[in-house]
């Protein structure tokens, strides 16, 4: 099915261009039309995708490039705490770590964001102040997404009103697997509208696909396109609560989707793998994949994030190893 271009040129930052819903595509707004479009996307070669991801994962990089990659990865982390036992004190501690990951080294970059439940947004916002570190909030009945739409929208509005800069929503995977694509589209579009503030500004919307429940790589590609067509600023692999979470082949497929979407529409969409990325070595594999699949434009916190709670510690220890020539003990970094 042909595209009708939605925007003319490339975009440089998240604030320049808002993702545009698919009303400008040559399809009607119906389940049948969306089905024809999504099932008309090229199928994923499972063996090929896994082999390419494995090959990219073996790439070695020079020492100078590794130092750059470690700092870049730190700047892309959404430092996350999403537990029932979260307290204001824990969130403040996490915010302090996000702003100054290595208190002994002022050259260490801050993380991109702190990700919390909606009831902790105000605490995180106050703690982060004018640091530039964003506050991301999970919403829409995270992690299951099993709630009535009015509850999901209220969840989102509460987080936005409390000051969230970014909303990480979950799609209804049951509806997606049942082929109710228009329902998912409308859900994303309504949540995006709920992200708008009274002053006209909008929190950025990350659409969590929960790829571990989507069953096939073809479904990952379809869900990625659906999230972009409906207006998501980012597409995100996982909640971190379901395994498998952020695998390299799945992320590769999502990177192909955002690359192809920009080529077709001129609109650039971000990607966020989340869950299971724990080591600097793994993070560098993802950055190599970003560069090789989507391109260097995505090597920026505006366009690529890591959703993680423990990754930052290993990045910091590897960074110190490069500076001092030795590994620090586990007490070098704070325990999240």
Residue positions annotated with a catalytic role: 168, 236, 272
DSSP collapsed to 3 states, the chain: CCCCCCCCCCCCCCCCCCCCCHHHCCCCCCHHHHHHHHHCCCCCCHHHHHHHHHHHCCCCCCHHHHHHHHHHHHHCEEEECCCCCCCHHHHHHHHHHHHCCCCCCCCCCCCCEEEECHHHHHHHHHHHCCCCCEEEEEECCCCCCCCCHHHHHHHHHHHHHCCCCEEEEECCHHHHHCCCHHHHHHHHHHHHHHCECCCCCECEEEEECCHHHCCCHHHHHHHHHHHHHCCCCEEECCCCCCCCCCCHHHHHHHHHHHHHHHHHHCCCCEEECECCCCCHHHHHHHHHHHHHHHCHHHCCCCCECEEECCHHHHHHHHHHHHHHCCCCCHHHCCCC
Q: 């102040």: which residue's tokens?
A: 129
Main-chain phi, psi angles of 34, to 5 degrees: -65, -40
Q: First vs last Cα of the chain: how many Å apart?
A: 48
Q: 């896994």: which residue's tokens?
A: 50
């Amino acid at each position: 099915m042909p595209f009708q271009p939605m925007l003319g040129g490339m975009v440089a930052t998240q604030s320049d261009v808002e993702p545009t819903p698919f009303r400008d595509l040559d399809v009607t707004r119906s389940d049948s039309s969306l089905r024809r479009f999504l099932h008309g996307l090229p199928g994923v070669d499972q063996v090929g995708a896994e082999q390419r991801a494995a090959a990219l994962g073996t790439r070695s990089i020079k020492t100078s490039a590794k130092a750059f990659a470690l700092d870049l990865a730190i700047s892309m982390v959404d430092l996350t705490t999403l537990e029932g036992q979260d307290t204001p004190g824990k969130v403040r501690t996490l915010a302090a770590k996000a702003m100054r990951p290595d208190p002994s080294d002022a050259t260490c970059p801050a993380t991109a964001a702190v990700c919390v439940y909606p009831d902790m947004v105000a605490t995180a916002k106050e703690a982060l102040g004018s640091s530039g570190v964003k506050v991301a909030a999970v919403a829409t009945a995270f992690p299951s997404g099993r709630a009535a739409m009015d509850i999901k929208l209220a969840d989102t509005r509460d987080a936005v009103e409390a000051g969230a800069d970014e909303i990480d929503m979950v799609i209804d995977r049951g509806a997606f697997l049942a082929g109710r694509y228009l329902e998912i589209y409308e859900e994303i579009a309504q949540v995006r509208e709920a992200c708008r503030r009274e002053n006209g500004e909008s929190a950025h919307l990350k659409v969590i696909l929960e790829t571990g429940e989507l069953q096939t790589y073809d479904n990952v590609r379809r869900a990625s396109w659906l999230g972009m067509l409906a207006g998501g600023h980012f597409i995100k692999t996982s909640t971190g609560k379901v395994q498998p979470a952020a695998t390299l082949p799945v992320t590769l497929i999502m990177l192909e989707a955002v690359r192809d979407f920009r080529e077709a529409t001129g609109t650039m969409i971000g990607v966020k793998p989340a869950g299971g990325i724990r080591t600097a070595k793994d993070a560098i594999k993802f950055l190599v994949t970003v560069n090789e699949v989507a391109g260097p434009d995505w090597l920026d916190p505006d366009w690529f994030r890591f959703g993680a709670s423990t990754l930052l510690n290993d990045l910091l220890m590897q960074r110190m190893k490069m500076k001092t020539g030795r590994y620090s003990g586990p007490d070098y970094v704070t325990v999240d």
